[in-house]
Amino acid sequence: MTTQRQEQDKRYDPADSTLKFVTRQDDITLDDDPDTLRAEMSCGHAVTPQSLTAWCRSLLDQGQYVFRCPALKDGTVQKCEAQWSYQEVRKLAVLTAAEQQHFEETMAALAAAEYCEFKSCPGCHTCVEREDISNLNVHCTVCSAVTAQAFEFCWQCLRVWKGPGPRSDRCGNNGCTNKDLELLKGCPTTSLPQVQNLDPCPSIRACPTCGLLLEHDRTGCKNILCSRCQVEFCFVCLKLTPACLQTSSYFLPCSDGVAPRQEAIPSWKRS
Ligand SMILES: [Zn+2]
Ligand SMILES: [Zn+2]
Ligand SMILES: [Zn+2]
Ligand SMILES: [Zn+2]
Ligand SMILES: [Zn+2]
Ligand SMILES: [Zn+2]
**Would you say residue 200 lies in a domain?**
yes
**Would you say residue 270 lies in a domain?**
no
Q: Which ligand is nearest to the CA of 158?
A: 3
Max CA-CA distance within the chain? 75
Cα 239 to averaged position of ligand 3 atoms, centre (Å): 31
Cα 131 to averaged position of ligand 2 atoms, centre (Å): 15
Q: 3-state DSSP: the chain helix, strand, coil percent, rounded to 5?
A: 25, 15, 60
Predicted confidence (pLDDT) at residue 115 exceeds the cutoff of 70: no
pLDDT band at 6 (very low <50, low <70, confident <90, very high): low
Q: Lowest mean pLDDT: which of 127-131, 254-258, 264-268? A: 264-268
Cα angle 255, 259, 264; round to 5: 145
State pLDDT tens for residues 70-113. 999 888 889 999 999 898 999 999 999 999 999 988 988 887 77
Q: Lowest mean pLDDT: which of 3-7, 115-119, 166-170, 182-186? A: 3-7
**260/199 Cα distance (integer angstroms):** 11
Cα 227 to averaged position of ligand 1 atoms, centre (Å): 23
State what percent of residues in the chain have pLDDT above 90. Answer: 68
State pLDDT tens for residues 223-262. 999 988 888 999 999 999 999 999 999 999 999 999 999 9
Residues 15 and 107 in one domain: yes
CA separation, residue 230 to residues 1, 100, 132, 181, 210 (Å): 29, 11, 22, 22, 9
Residue 141 has what pLDDT? 93
Q: Which ligand is nearest to the CA of 233?
A: 6
Q: Is the dihedral of CA 192, 269, 164, 141 positive or negative?
A: negative
- Please provide residue 137's backbone torsions phi and psi, each rounded to the nearest 5 degrees: -85, 110
* ipTM summary value: 0.66
Predicted confidence (pLDDT) at residue 217 exceeds the cutoff of 90: yes
Q: Which ligand is nearest to the CA of 224?
A: 4
* Domain-terminating residue out of 88, 113, 138: 113
Cα 197 to averaged position of ligand 6 atoms, centre (Å): 13
* Domain-terminating residue out of 93, 113, 133: 113
Q: Which ligand is nearest to the CA of 140?
A: 2
**Would you say residue 11 lies in a domain?**
yes
Predicted confidence (pLDDT) at residue 2 exceeds the cutoff of 50: no
Predicted confidence (pLDDT) at residue 21 exceeds the cutoff of 50: yes
Evaluate whether 156 touches 119 at the Cβ level (below 8 Å).
Answer: no
Residues 224 and 151 in one domain: no
**182/186 Cα distance (integer angstroms):** 6
Query: Angle formed by the axes of helices 97-114 and 49-61, to 10°?
Result: 30
Q: Which ligand is nearest to the CA of 165?
A: 3
Residue 1 has what pLDDT? 44
Residue 179 has what pLDDT? 86
Q: How many domains does the structure of the chain reveal? A: 3
Cα 96 to averaged position of ligand 6 atoms, centre (Å): 20
Cα 235 to averaged position of ligand 6 atoms, centre (Å): 7
Residues 239 and 163 in one domain: no
Residue 59 has what pLDDT? 95
Cα 219 to averaged position of ligand 1 atoms, centre (Å): 29
Evaluate whether 195 touches 252 at the Cβ level (below 8 Å).
Answer: yes
Residue 269 has what pLDDT? 66
**Would you say residue 148 lies in a domain?**
yes
What is the number of H-type helices and E-type strands within the chain?
A: 7, 15
Cα 253 to averaged position of ligand 4 atoms, centre (Å): 14
Residue 169 has what pLDDT? 85
CB neighbour list of residue 92: distance below 8 Å, 6 or more residues apart: 19, 39, 41, 47, 49, 52
Q: Which ligand is nearest to the CA of 80?
A: 1
Residues of the domain holding 198? 179-247
Residues 99 and 136 in one domain: no
State what percent of residues in the chain have pLDDT above 70. Answer: 95
Cα 32 to averaged position of ligand 1 atoms, centre (Å): 17
**Would you say residue 267 lies in a domain?**
no
* Domain-terminating residue out of 129, 151, 173: 173
Cα 139 to averaged position of ligand 4 atoms, centre (Å): 43
Residues 166 and 186 in one domain: no
Residues 8 and 58 in one domain: yes
Residues 167 and 236 in one domain: no
Residues 106 and 53 in one domain: yes
Residues 63 and 106 in one domain: yes
Residue 230 has what pLDDT? 82
Residues 106 and 20 in one domain: yes
Q: Which ligand is nearest to the CA of 126?
A: 2
**Would you say residue 269 lies in a domain?**
no
Nearest CA to 231 out of 255, 213, 207 is that of 207
Residues 122 and 201 in one domain: no
As a dihedral over the C-alpha atoms of residue 143, residue 119, residue 106, residue 83, rounded to 10 degrees, the angle is: -140
The distance in angstroms from the start CA to the end CA of the chain is 33
Cα 267 to averaged position of ligand 3 atoms, centre (Å): 18
Q: Which ligand is nearest to the CA of 238?
A: 6
Cα 78 to averaged position of ligand 5 atoms, centre (Å): 34
- Please provide residue 247's backbone torsions phi and psi, each rounded to the nearest 5 degrees: -125, 10
Residue 236, CB-side half-sphere exposure with 13 Å CA sphere:
30
DSSP 119-136: EE-TTT--EEE-S-TT--
**Would you say residue 268 lies in a domain?**
no
Residues 97 and 133 in one domain: no
Cα 208 to averaged position of ligand 4 atoms, centre (Å): 17
Cα angle 65, 84, 24; round to 5: 125
Residues at Cβ < 5 Å from ligand 2 ion:
121, 123-124, 140, 142-143
Mean local confidence (pLDDT), 210-232: 91
Average pLDDT over the chain, rounded to an integer: 90
**Would you say residue 189 lies in a domain?**
yes
**232/245 Cα distance (integer angstroms):** 12
